[in-house]
């Protein structure tokens, strides 16, 4: 146990910061010190931004995204293609896809993936809501943007089976060579998927 170098208020700030993803105890100390040094420029605005976000954050009842309005900004955006729903496990995945700016549809956040080992079943995820959205007349395609893990693919298969009689095309992300990837470093599973899903040049 490291000895305290500051009063309990600052130690508490460091402790809370160390719980953020990507920040260990050392970087939390560095972050805390940076905030303290930039009290007016950073710490004050951050504290009020946290307070405002805390009061206003809601989960979109349509898609499961996190926003300060319900329906969320994505759901009400008229420029988005209403015929495409991109299915993701987590809000982080939605934000990642939005950052990449590669798809102009709307989303559906499942809240996780099926995982029998961890006791996560269909009732724990937003699957019923997805199935009823997929039956909407305007929806033409469901893109399953799920992790290329056993749980992710199990979830993809489960959803695909539930939608067999729906008038909607179900697609999934391609598996294979990552952009900038070198074949020599790829595992057999990735190479095999890349060969199977090869496309016409
Ligand atoms: Zn939404």
Residue 41 and residue 62: Cα distance in Å, rounded? 37
Is the distance from CB of 152 to CB of 146 less than 8 angstroms? Answer: yes
pLDDT digits (tens, 9 = 90+) for 116-143: 899 999 999 999 999 999 999 999 999 9
Closest CA to 123 of 148, 66, 115, 86: 115
Going from the N-terminus, what domains does the chain have, and what CATH number goes with each?
Answer: 8-56 (1.10.8.420), 66-172 (3.40.1360.10)
CA 154 to centroid of ligand 1, rounded, Å: 25
Cβ partners under 8 Å of residue 81, min gap 6: 104, 105, 106
Among 2-6, 10-14, 187-191, which stretch is predicted with the lowest mean pLDDT?
2-6
Q: CA-based diameter of the chain, in Å?
A: 64
pLDDT at position 1 over 60: no
**Residue entry with tokens 């799920």:** 146
CA 73 to centroid of ligand 1, rounded, Å: 7
């Amino acid at each position: 146990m490291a000895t305290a170098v500051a009063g309990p208020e600052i130690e508490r700030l460091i402790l809370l910061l160390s719980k953020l993803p990507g920040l260990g105890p050392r970087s939390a100390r560095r972050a805390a010190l940076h905030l303290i040094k930039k009290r007016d420029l950073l710490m004050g605005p951050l504290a009020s931004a946290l307070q405002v976000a805390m009061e206003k954050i809601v989960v979109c009842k349509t898609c499961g995204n996190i926003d300060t309005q319900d329906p969320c900004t994505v759901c009400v955006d008229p420029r988005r293609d209403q015929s495409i729903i991109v299915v993701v496990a987590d809000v982080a995945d939605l934000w990642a896809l939005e950052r990449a700016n590669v798809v102009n549809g709307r989303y559906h956040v499942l809240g996780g993936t099926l995982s029998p080992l961890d006791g996560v079943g269909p009732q724990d995820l937003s699957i019923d809501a997805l199935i009823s959205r997929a039956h909407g007349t305007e929806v033409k395609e469901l893109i399953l943007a799920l992790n290329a893990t056993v749980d992710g693919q199990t979830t993809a298969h489960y959803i695909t089976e539930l939608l067999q009689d729906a008038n909607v095309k179900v697609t999934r992300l391609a598996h294979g060579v990552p952009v900038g990837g070198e074949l020599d470093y790829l595992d057999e599973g990735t190479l095999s998927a890349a060969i199977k899903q090869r496309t016409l040049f």
